[in-house]
Amino acid sequence: MSEPAIGVFDSGLGGLTAVKELKKVLPQENIIYFGDTARVPYGTRSETTILRYARQDADFLLSKGVKLIIAACGTVSSVATELYDTLPVPYTGVVIPTANAAADATKNGRIGIIGTPATVKSCSYKREILRSNNRISVYQQACPLFVPLVENGFISRDDEIVRLTVERYLKDLKDAGIDTLILGCTHFPIIADAISDYLGRGVTLIDSGKETALFAANILGSRGILSRSGEKGECRYFVSDTVEGFSKTAEIFLGSSDGISVKHIDI
């Protein structure tokens, strides 16, 4: 790569939704993505294990000379907050930009949050929302089955399994009258249609990948480290487990797998 890249990591391949948004917002930037597919999911691990994995993921990206690191994993962003003070390059998770966007979007002051069990347990999104506006009512729901549904290709809004799972998890949030919902895991935008169908048009969905991409653009701009090449950026992909099936999964998350190659690394 001719210029330093943005480094993005996730526990699996859900962070590719953040890469998709980065390519829209910052098409000139190089991106290096690492998916820790050998150890997914992080959401059911202990805080100590999540922090250890996150540090190893970040170290791999640093070995590639990246200029910014994004933890596209909601679980890491919520639990491994120590990373903010220990990395030699700018770093962001998905929590702060997403929580701020939700606080700005709500009209009735009722926000729902869905994520992995670790993310919900941490109350990270809730804390950031209340820091912005302590009059907002926040409702949380762990949705542990959403990640395996997406990774196994159950993503259609018309799929009965998807519809029933969405209804099971989101009924209480719907009954609470939320008008804004944070998709607190990068897998969740893949089934946003089914979520929106159930909650109705009056509920705004906040995509953590999109908000984090916009936040990253601000970080790079404020530090004067945006790419000046004027050319379309290059993307490289790495995983810690088999590369078989990556193209099919990448097509789900990125919308296309054309021209994508992936390498296996031992983390």
Q: List, by residue number, the catalytic residues.
A: 73, 185
Residue 211 Cα distances to 5, 27, 146, 172, 183, angstroms: 19, 16, 21, 25, 11
**Is the distance from CB of 6 to CB of 31 less than 8 angstroms?**
yes
Q: Where are the beta strands (DSSP E) in the chain?
A: 6-10, 31-35, 68-71, 91-92, 110-115, 137-142, 180-183, 204-207, 235-239, 262-264
The rounded radius of gyration (Å) of the Cα atoms in the chain is 17
Backbone phi, psi, residue 208, to 5°:
-65, -35
Q: CB–CB of 221/17 below 8 Å?
A: no
**Rounded Cα–Cα distance for residues 168 and 150 (Å):** 16
Helix, strand, coil percentages, rounded to 5, for the chain = 45, 15, 40
